[in-house]
């Protein structure tokens, strides 16, 4: 059984970062909302309590029964988790006079503490809290302070239980990874043996055991996630995997043909399906982004249902769902989550589609998917391909989608992406694309007045898409690309560049 660290989520914006940092140490971690804690078995080596937007003093603050965890397993409370460990056992937590947010430096470190090994004095840490632990219970030892926060970290005597007021998982905590390593390796005793190759081996074995001789139908998109999922399934069940690559009319220029050939070269059992007219019909008269996403998701399901009926005795639908999709679709507060966007591959299938779902990548972050793909021998040009939204160009066409508007955006996007490749910039960008705006602008071409479409170019740097910054592409490249688009794409007379980061903006415009 794979050893693991369980991270209990109280709704913090940083919870996923905790999971990623633990995995960077080659230790498997799982994130679970506080109201759906899994069974604590022998595979669980330790537990981390996340931060939260709540105060422990709130009447509706998240609560957790720690009887099965505290003093029985190593336990680390981060921010809200630390305050809960103090408040629940006799300590005093009070609102701060000022919100303690941002950089701070440790002014005291107990170098004898197992948690604080190799964390130096004046180490920079990141604070993000409105309450402060004023006092801790008598059996708690103080192991770190900052200039303004006396109780920055504590240890419960006689237990492997610790609390820290700061966030070691964020980049700005300079020795945060060292602290997490102290906890998960030195205190929890994890072996650091969870690698991409080990994940692939375990997943293939699990798929063989689960699927046996069953047939699986998988929708390929041309992206990294579905491609790696397909290879894992292919290695597990071979020709019993039936891959469907749908031309929804919303792919990039010439992408359907080139990607189809690439999948055939990988030895996959694949069928290309021309469904352009079905998707365009489903999108007719729809301008709202959520309605477009749902129309596309429903049409995908209909197409898969039709294709699945062509395969005798198929029992499973494979999907390339990854961990951020799953986490973003689960509420950590017990109530309805704020929906940023719908994930078309999360949430199950309609009753009429009698297929069970298999998701080999459900517990991986995007960068981990690429590493697993590399361990499986997938070609670099496939693994290095920029993420592309499931709904395709439909959510990069603001307003109604039509065949002509798709043509315009495909041409613009092709010039932009090919230009990045030609100039050696493609691998410096995490994701790039063009957006067709729902406005026309006045221009001049020759002696003629034009009134045509405006397009926006978008390029961002990121690790996993949870946060992103806009790329500082060379002005010369942007000028050359803009000129080429306006001269070569009929219907466009203005190009702008998006310099918004995520947050507050999202990567896609819809």
Active site residue ranges: 79, 167, 169
Cα–Cα distance between 338 and 330 in angstroms, integer?
A: 10
User: Among candidates 189, 185, 175, which has minimal Cα distance to 144?
Assistant: 175
Residues 6+ apart with CB under 8 A from 121: 106, 107, 108, 109
Q: How far apart are CA 435 and CA 413, in angstroms?
A: 8
Distance CA(14)–CA(172), nearest Å, equals 12
Asked if 109 contacts 143 with a C-beta cutoff of 8 angstroms, the reply is: yes
Residue 361 in contact with residue 322, Cβ under 8 Å?
A: yes
> What is the C-alpha to C-alpha distance for residues 67 and 70, in angstroms, rounded to an integer?
6
Q: b/e map of 35-66 (b: 16 or more CB within 10 Å)? A: eeeeeeeeebbbbbbbbbebbbeeeeebebeb
Write a three-state SS string for 60-109: CCCCCCCCCCECCECEEEECHHHHHHHHCCCCEEEEEEEEEEEEEEEEEE
Helices 224-237 and 196-211 pack at an angle, to 10 degrees, of: 60
Q: What angle do CA 252, 255, 259 make, to 5 degrees?
A: 145
Classify the C-alpha dihedral 30-32-36-37 as positive or negative.
positive
């Amino acid at each position: 059984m794979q050893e693991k660290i369980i991270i209990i989520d109280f709704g913090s914006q940083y919870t996923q970062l905790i999971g990623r940092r633990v995995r960077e140490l080659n230790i498997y971690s799982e994130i679970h909302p506080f109201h759906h804690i899994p069974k604590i078995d022998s595979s669980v080596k330790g537990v981390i309590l996340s931060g939260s937007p709540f105060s422990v003093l709130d009447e509706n603050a998240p609560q957790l029964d720690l009887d099965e965890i505290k003093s029985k397993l190593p336990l680390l409370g981060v921010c809200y988790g630390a305050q809960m460990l103090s408040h629940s056992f006799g300590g005093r937590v009070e609102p701060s006079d000022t919100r303690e947010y941002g950089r701070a430096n440790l002014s005291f470190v107990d170098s004898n503490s197992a948690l604080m090994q190799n964390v130096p004095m004046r180490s920079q840490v990141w604070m993000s809290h409105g309450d402060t632990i004023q006092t801790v219970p008598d059996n708690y030892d103080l192991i770190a302070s900052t200039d303004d926060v006396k109780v920055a970290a504590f240890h419960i005597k006689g237990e492997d239980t610790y609390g820290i007021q700061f966030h070691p998982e964020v980049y700005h905590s300079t020795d945060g990874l060292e602290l997490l390593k102290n906890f998960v390796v030195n205190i929890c005793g994890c072996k650091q043996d969870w690698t991409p190759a080990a994940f692939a081996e375990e997943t293939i074995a699990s798929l063989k055991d689960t699927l046996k001789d069953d047939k699986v139908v998988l929708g390929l998109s041309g992206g990294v996630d579905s491609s790696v999922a397909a290879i894992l399934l292919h290695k597990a069940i071979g020709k019993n995997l039936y891959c469907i690559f749908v031309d929804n009319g919303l792919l990039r220029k010439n992408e359907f043909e080139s990607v189809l050939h690439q999948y055939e070269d990988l030895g996959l059992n694949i069928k290309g399906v021309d469904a352009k007219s079905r998707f365009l019909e489903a999108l007719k008269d729809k301008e709202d982004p959520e309605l477009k996403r749902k129309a596309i998701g429903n049409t995908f399901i209909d197409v898969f249902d039709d294709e699945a009926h062509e395969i005798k005795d198929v029992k499973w639908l494979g999907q390339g769902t990854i961990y951020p999709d799953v986490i973003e679709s689960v509420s950590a507060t017990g109530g309805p989550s704020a929906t940023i966007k719908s994930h078309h591959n999360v949430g199950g299938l309609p009753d009429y589609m009698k297929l069970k779902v298999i998701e080999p990548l459900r517990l991986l972050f995007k960068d981990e998917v690429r590493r697993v793909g590399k361990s499986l021998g997938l070609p670099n040009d496939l693994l290095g391909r920029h993420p592309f939204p499931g709904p395709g160009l439909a959510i990069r066409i603001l307003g109604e989608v039509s065949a002509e508007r798709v043509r315009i955006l495909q041409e613009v996007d092709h010039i932009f992406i090919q230009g990045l490749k030609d100039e050696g910039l493609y691998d410096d960008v995490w994701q790039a694309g063009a957006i067709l705006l729902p406005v026309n602008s006045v221009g001049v071409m020759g002696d003629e007045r034009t009134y045509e479409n405006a397009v926006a170019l978008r390029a961002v740097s990121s690790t996993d898409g949870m946060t992103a910054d806009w790329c500082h592409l060379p002005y010369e490249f942007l000028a050359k690309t803009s000129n080429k688009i306006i001269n070569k794409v009929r219907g466009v007379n203005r190009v702008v560049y998006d310099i918004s980061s995520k947050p507050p903006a999202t990567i896609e415009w819809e």
